[in-house]
Amino acid sequence: MSDAAIAAPKIKAKISRDDWIMRGCMGVIGIFLAMFVLLPLYTMMSKSFENKAGDFIGLTNYLEYFSTPALFLSAVNSLYISIFGTFLVLGTAFVYAYALTRTCMPFKVFFKLVAVIPLLTPSLLAGISLVYWFGKQGAAKELLFGELIYGPIGIIIGSSYWVFPHALMIVITALSIADARLYEAAISLRTKPLKVFFTVTLPGCKYGLISAGFVVFTLIFTDFGVPKVIGGNFNMLATDIYKQVIGQQNFQMGAVVSVVLLIPAVIAFSVDRIVQKKQVAQLSSRAVPYVPKPERRRDMIMLAFCSLVAFLILCMIGMAQYAALIKFWPYNLELTLGNYDFDLANGGGWESYFNSIRMSLYTAVVGTIIIFFGAYLVEKGRGFAIGRNAFHAVAMLPLAVPGMALGLAYIFFFNNPANPFNFLYGTMGILVVVTVTHFYTVSHLTAVTALKQIDPEFESVAASLKAPFYRTFARITIPVCLPAILDISMYLFLNAMTTVSAVVFLYSTDTTLASVAVLNMDDQGELPFAAAMAMMIAYTCAGARILHVILTRGITKSTQAWRER
């Protein structure tokens, strides 16, 4: 090669009109993320360095926090409850997932359906159910041998219930990918089953287990619903924020506790991202799918274990349903529908329930449009690597931000007359925005994963034919990714119906939500009404999930026929 050829300058690709439009759209959505994630968090952190008069006082609030034994103890409580709960849930989820993927156990479909029930209910339901089971007048309080359910025992049990399916889905995915050749080699070498487990099975799913562990830790550490209902005098960081803001109107100390709550969650998220980058493909093009072989003794043991876990889940949801139908626990156990007359309750009426449906629908529609289009701009955009990487980084941030911290940050940011978006405060709009923001990351990752499956040649051919990007987006990208788009909308709807931590500081008298009504009813001592409202949320989520399955099947037949070739 000649020196002239080596020294030839690089030819820069010409930026087309479509590229400028896509970058402009990315900038708009980037401003949305900055406005509703970065700036509120910055405002909250700034408030933690101020006194009630708004004067800068440095680290005084933090010194006061760590020098107050009761407040500092909350951080310790949150840590050890989360660590203990993580090991409990992860161990249970691993055995349950192993039974579903690596054995010939019967009734797998039934056990899969039962395992997802907690996803359809607010975390508050677990606490309510435990009160009826093991409270001072509980049906099975003798099983605790004199111990009180109000405190760490109740928090661990309740948190394990609603976090379990989150861990299970990740572990099932990790265990579903296995190369049968490794197991065949182990059998041919006459390797003992226990050694095969520790040298083949565990190493193959270790990244999934690590990811599930960090997810469980973060969810338990930042949860507000379970400790609020069943925690009693046992303080956790999330409940401390609520007490500081709602009980004492001490917003500055609430900001301090939020920052303390934020730090472990960010660390766990960061470590998880680092670990995931080290993950390598488990299956090659020559891999052989693993098919479990019947082994009666093992299969029966796994059936017994899964039956026990499923029984406990059904007991939790079953007691909540029973509590919603009785007149006066435990003195009058006659069945009644009177507890569903929410207009008689002080915590919130039927309007709260319909507000939740409206908010969830708005969140599903608006959130899906913004998130999927943003992911498309990141994945299918040409050039502008710095901007796309920055957008992706900001899109990942909400996953590490606890709902309580985000909700308090919105108070500081939007309840400021100087903010041009102040008009959103106290409206349905701010509830939609905070919910979309809170659950942005998982939806973004789902959209990116779906978009990666589409060959980049589609965009290249469209560009060579001078077809505008929006035509390719509408005629190719959306139809191909329609199942993922429906999954995103369902994910946003279900979480909007069940969330409480992110919205508990932001609702007004006109925008009370069903999940908040459950919390208020519990505070008022109206547990039967709270159980009934929690079950209404569960009914709605179950109905939406069934509708989603029906729509997905119909749409798949009409738009995904190419997959059957």
Give the pTM. Answer: 0.87
Spacing of C-alpha 441 from chain mean position: 9
Question: 9 vs 259, which has greater pLDDT?
Answer: 259
Task: Determine the residue type at 563.
Answer: R
How many residues belong to the chain? 565
pLDDT at residue number 427: 92
Cα separation, 394 vs 406, in Å, equals 15
pLDDT tier at 285 (50, 70, 90 boundaries)? very low
pLDDT of residue 447 exceeding 70, the answer is yes
Q: Is the pLDDT of residue 448 over 50?
A: yes
Q: Using 50, 70 and 90 to split pLDDT, how confident is the model at 289?
A: low
Give me the DSSP letters along 468-537.
Answer: -HHHHIIIIIHHHTHHHHHHHHHHHHHHHHH--TTTTTT--TTS--HHHHHHHHHHTT-HHHHHHHHHHH
- The predicted model gives 102-124 an average pLDDT of 91
- pLDDT, position 452: 78
Tens-digit pLDDT profile for residues 321-377: 999 999 888 888 899 999 999 888 887 789 999 999 999 999 999 999 999 999 888
**Residue with the larger pLDDT of the pair 408 and 19:** 408
More confident residue, 192 or 133: 133
Q: What angle do CA 259, 364, 557 make, to 5 degrees?
A: 135
Tell me, what's the pLDDT at 450? 80
Q: Higher model confidence: residue 468 or residue 111? A: 111
Q: Which pLDDT score is estimated for 212?
A: 85
What are the pLDDT digits (tens) for 65-88? Answer: 888 887 788 888 999 999 999 999
CA distance 178 to 180: 6
Average pLDDT of the residues of the chain: 84
**For a pLDDT cut of 90, what percent of the chain falls above it?**
35
d(CA 350, CA 2): 80
Preceding peptide of 330 cis, ω within 30°: yes
Mean pLDDT of 193-207: 73
Crossing angle (nearest 10°) for helices 108-115 and 296-323: 40
| Closest alpha carbon to 433 in 495, 359, 504 | 359
If we measure between CA atoms, which residue out of 71, 132, 119, 39 comes closest to residue 414?
A: 39
Run of H or E including 327: strand 326-328
Which residues are within 8 A (CB) of 422 and not within 5 positions of it... i.e. 6 or more apart?
Answer: 414, 415, 416
Residue 311 phi/psi, 5° resolution? -60, -40
Q: What integer pLDDT is reported at residue 178 of this predicted model?
A: 63
Q: What pLDDT band is residue 1 in, cutting at 50, 70 and 90?
A: very low
C-alpha–C-alpha distance, residues 323 and 138, integer Å: 11
With a cut of 60, say whether residue 2 has pLDDT above it.
no
Task: Report pLDDT for 353.
Answer: 94
Query: What is the helix (H) or strand (E) element at residue 145, kind and residue range?
Result: none
d(CA 463, CA 459): 6
Residue 51 is predicted with a pLDDT of 85
Mean pLDDT of all residues in 270-296: 65
Query: Which whole number is the average pLDDT over 30-44?
Result: 89
What's the rounded mean pLDDT across residues 268-285?
A: 63
Distances (CA, A) of 27 to 41, 391, 478: 20, 9, 21
- Tell me which residue has tokens 């919390």: 519
Question: What pLDDT was estimated at residue 199?
Answer: 72
- Residue 251's alpha-carbon distances to 51, 158, 166, 168, 238, in angstroms, are 9, 28, 32, 37, 14
Residue 180 has a pLDDT of: 63
For 46-66, what is the mean pLDDT? 87
Q: Of the given ranges (122-126, 275-279, 529-533), which has the lowest mean pLDDT? A: 275-279
pLDDT for the residue numbered 27:
87
User: Could you tell me which residues come within 8 angstroms of residue 209 by beta carbon, excluding any fewer than 6 positions away?
Assistant: 90, 94, 171, 174, 202
DSSP letter assigned to residue 149: S
pLDDT at 303 over 50: yes
Highest mean pLDDT among 27-31, 142-146, 208-212: 27-31
CA 88 to chain centre: 19
Of 533 and 18, the one with more pLDDT: 533
pLDDT band of residue 513 (cuts 50, 70, 90) is: very high
Q: Which amino acid is at 201?
A: T
Q: Which of 12-16, 331-335, 474-478 has the highest mean pLDDT?
A: 331-335
Q: What is the mean pLDDT of residues 258-280?
A: 76
C-alpha atoms less than 13 angstroms from C-alpha of 290 in its C-beta half-sphere? 23
Strand, helix or coil for residue 322: helix
